[in-house]
Amino acid sequence: MQVPDDFVSLGIEAGLAERLLERGIKKPSEIQKQVIPLILEGKDLFFSSATGTGKTFAYLLPILQRLNGAGPSALLLAPTYELCAQIKNETDFLLKTHSVSRSPHSSLLLIGGGNISRQIDGLKKDKPMVIAGNPGRVLLLAKMKKLSLKALSFLVLDEADRLVSDESLAETRELLELIGRETEISPLAAGPGGRPVYISCSATITDKCRERLLPFFRPDHAVVSLSDRDVLRERIEHWAFFAERRHKISCLRSFLAAVKPGKALVFSGGAGQPGNVVSQLQYHHINALPLFAGMDKKSRKTAIDGFRSGKVDVLVSSDLACRGLDINGVTHILALDCPGEDLVYIHRAGRTARAGRRGVMVTIGDGQEMKALARLEKRLGITVYPKILIRGKVAAADSECKVLPIR
């Protein structure tokens, strides 16, 4: 098997680089080129780039290469069950290579809602080197003295802006303070001075997020930021359909029938709304499932796995549930509202056009939402094209159509 030399030149071991070929990854992305050497060097780091640019492998590759032989060596934090599970799956995929198997390595998922007794058993029996989990469950197990973080060499905060949001800040801060006390001086730590390496990443890291994390990072930390605007402008086409609130789901059904997207992800309001949308789609024989934070873990997994495998054509999700998910082949994103925040639109759109592909972001909105979309269009520097559905096809909206102008 040919070794991807570009990864090796960054300092990644040949075995790990070979493993990437099974995913068709031959060359590092721009964010990987910049981030991997810094992590191998032991630098604390804030980094951001558009979704689908390879952020997870950017930190996993150097971290797994530098596992220190004691456990847990790496703690990978994320805000949702789906993202934690996704990170664990990518970790297990890379750990199958022989090059990092100098000692038996394993990973464990520690997430709220999971069976805590099984998690405690897993910590005892498997002695995992890598933990993927949410701050609440990790903090609880650490307080119960079931999880020791003294050997921690790397700490990652994935989707960091969510982890330090107003709702999650107290828990995350308490965990970081505990880690600081337990790892004050550790001979196993990867960073200088006997401390773990702290890594914070997201598609967008706000000033507020950085300010809240700065007390835990070294003063000489690095910052890498690649613009997400190029992806929004160049690889994603933005469409808008006018529909009064009571007609939005009908418009969605007509769109799906006209376009027949291979894989469509729909965003719809809060926790209860996706279920209502799915019920109406299923009534019309559209293969759809919901995903929202209030669902039980088994149902959420069924929805994600079905959508990822192609058994489910349409996934209807709340913003909370789908944040950070990497699902290949999503061709169309459809939003049944216009978000008030630019970052929400960016994260929604970022579920398509991943890994260099192209995609379409569709907003179905009423009059007020079309006006909000016009303001968002200007702020983000994108072009939104008004569209209509006519005779079962998508067409450009002309002057005679009752569609509010986007610009």
Task: Give per-residue pLDDT as tens, 334-388.
Answer: 999 998 888 889 888 988 887 678 899 999 999 999 999 999 999 989 999 999 9
The dihedral of CA 122, 128, 132, 138: what is its sign? Answer: positive
In this prediction, residue 318 carries a pLDDT of 86
Residue 234 has pLDDT above 80, yes or no: yes
In this prediction, residue 1 carries a pLDDT of 46
Q: What percent of the chain has pLDDT over 90?
A: 62
| Pairwise CA distance, residues 88 & 310, whole Å | 21
User: Got the DSSP string for 330-363?
Assistant: --EEEESS--SSHHHHHHHHTTSSGGG--EEEEE
Once rounded to an integer, what is the mean pLDDT over residues 296-300? 85
Task: State the DSSP H helix or E strand holding residue 389, giving kind and residue range, or none if neither.
Answer: strand 384-390
The label of the residue with tokens 């960016």 reads 346
Q: Which domains does the chain have, with CATH numbers?
A: 5-225 (3.40.50.300), 229-396 (3.40.50.300)
pLDDT band at 398 (very low <50, low <70, confident <90, very high): low
- Write the pLDDT tens digit of every residue in 2-27: 555 689 999 999 889 989 988 888 89
pLDDT band at 187 (very low <50, low <70, confident <90, very high): low
Residue 103 has pLDDT above 70, yes or no: no
Crossing angle of helices 248-259/273-283, nearest 10°?
50
Question: CA-based Rg of the chain, rounded to a whole angstrom?
Answer: 22
Question: Which of 96-100, 292-296, 311-315 reaches the highest mean pLDDT?
Answer: 311-315
The tokens of 198 are what?
Answer: 């702290």
Residue 311 has pLDDT above 80, yes or no: yes
Closest by CA to 255, choosing from 374, 404, 387, is 387
Phi, psi values for residue 252, rounded to 5°: -60, -45
Task: State the DSSP H helix or E strand holding residue 125, giving kind and residue range, or none if neither.
Answer: helix 116-126
Q: Output the average pLDDT for the chain.
A: 88
Residue 91 CB contacts under 8 Å (≥ 6 apart), including other chains: 60, 64, 76, 107, 130, 132
Once rounded to an integer, what is the mean pLDDT over residues 190-206? 83
From the number of C-beta atoms within 10 Å of its C-beta (0-12, 13-18, 19+), residue 73 rates as buried
| Pairwise CA distance, residues 405 & 247, whole Å | 19
In this prediction, residue 403 carries a pLDDT of 41
In this prediction, residue 2 carries a pLDDT of 54
| Contact (CB, 8 A) for 31 and 205 | no
Q: For residue 48, what is the DSSP state?
A: E
- Write the pLDDT tens digit of every residue in 116-165: 999 999 999 989 999 999 999 999 999 999 999 999 999 999 999 999 99
In this prediction, residue 402 carries a pLDDT of 44
